[in-house]
Amino acid sequence: MRAAKECLACLEDLTKRAARLAVADPQKRERVFLESRSFLTKNFSQDLIPAYLAGEIQRIIRKKGKNEDPFAAVKEKEMNIAREIAGDLGKKLENKLDSLIAFAALGNSLDFFMDPDTLQNELSKPVKLAINNIDRLQDTLVNFGEYQGRKKILYFADNTGECFFDLPLLTYLEKYADVIYVVKESPVQNDLTLWDLEQSGIRENFYRVATTGTDSPGLDLENASPEFFKLIGQADLLFAKGMGYYETLPELRLLKPTFFLLKTKCHPIANSLKVSLNSYVGLLIESPA
């Protein structure tokens, strides 16, 4: 998905937030912010993918601010909130695909722009999918059983605390295929990294884990590791959480069935999907154009 006019203001907010988290000294913070904003102003174009710009801006901030993980404290708070709420709600969870997807979708309410109280309130609301292709996804999974050998699903994680909401769904999907949980190699905003997953206390419950090899929101395949490039070529289904993957995966023309599960947290994404702002979406694209 290419940038809309509104994306510029959102990227400016991200730049300001990341600089504030990365640098404690006010004068140095201002210099880092102005340099990264200058990059954004010079390079913003509606021909570009917003996630790629966001990734480059944050590389500048991390380097100039000498801070490898500006969102570390934010991620720790999200992880603690998610662990508690997912633990409580998970006790009542039905082992059915629609229930498990709704639970995983709820985790996508995690957002570094939210304060903890607002976040906790969002995670207590029920989930109703504005686009619901779960039946088609179930058919795809059942069809996997008709082939010799196990199929392979890449499950792309999004925000840090979502691992607690993803695990029940991963366990269900394992009935139909080998599932590889894909996380980021190194920090970018509040995306789940391998280190974050290892700190979660539930790392051992994810049987197969891989990293993209990158520090970009969504997927920047040009900079992915050779190992991941090979892995995605072997995948039979992509299961992608969050707006970053919705922005980037269709642009890659991978020609693989892809199930997008996300909350539409901005108007350009909502408009692209023709749904209201803050809608939950479960969209299966069987043959991406």
Which pair of structure tokens corresponds to residue 244? 């970053």
Using alpha carbons, select from 156, 182, 55, 161 the residue that is nearest to residue 108.
161
232 backbone φψ class: left, alpha, beta (φ>0; ψ -120 to 50):
alpha
Mean residue pLDDT across the chain: 92
Query: What's the pTM value of the predicted model, to 2 decimals?
Result: 0.94
Per residue in 6-22, pLDDT (tens digit) is 999 999 999 999 999 99
What is the architecture of the domain spanning 78-285? 3-Layer(aba) Sandwich (3.40)
3-state DSSP call for residue 88?
helix
Q: Where are the domains of the chain?
A: 6-64, 78-285
pLDDT in the model for residue 148: 75
In tens, the pLDDT along 92-106 reads: 899 999 999 999 999
Q: At 225, give phi and psi (nearest 5°).
A: -70, 155
Evaluate if residue 190 carries a pLDDT over 80: yes
Host H or E run for residue 151? strand 151-156
Q: Which residue has the tokens 């394992």?
A: 174
- The CA distance from 277 to 46, in Å, is 21
What pLDDT does residue 71 have?
Answer: 95
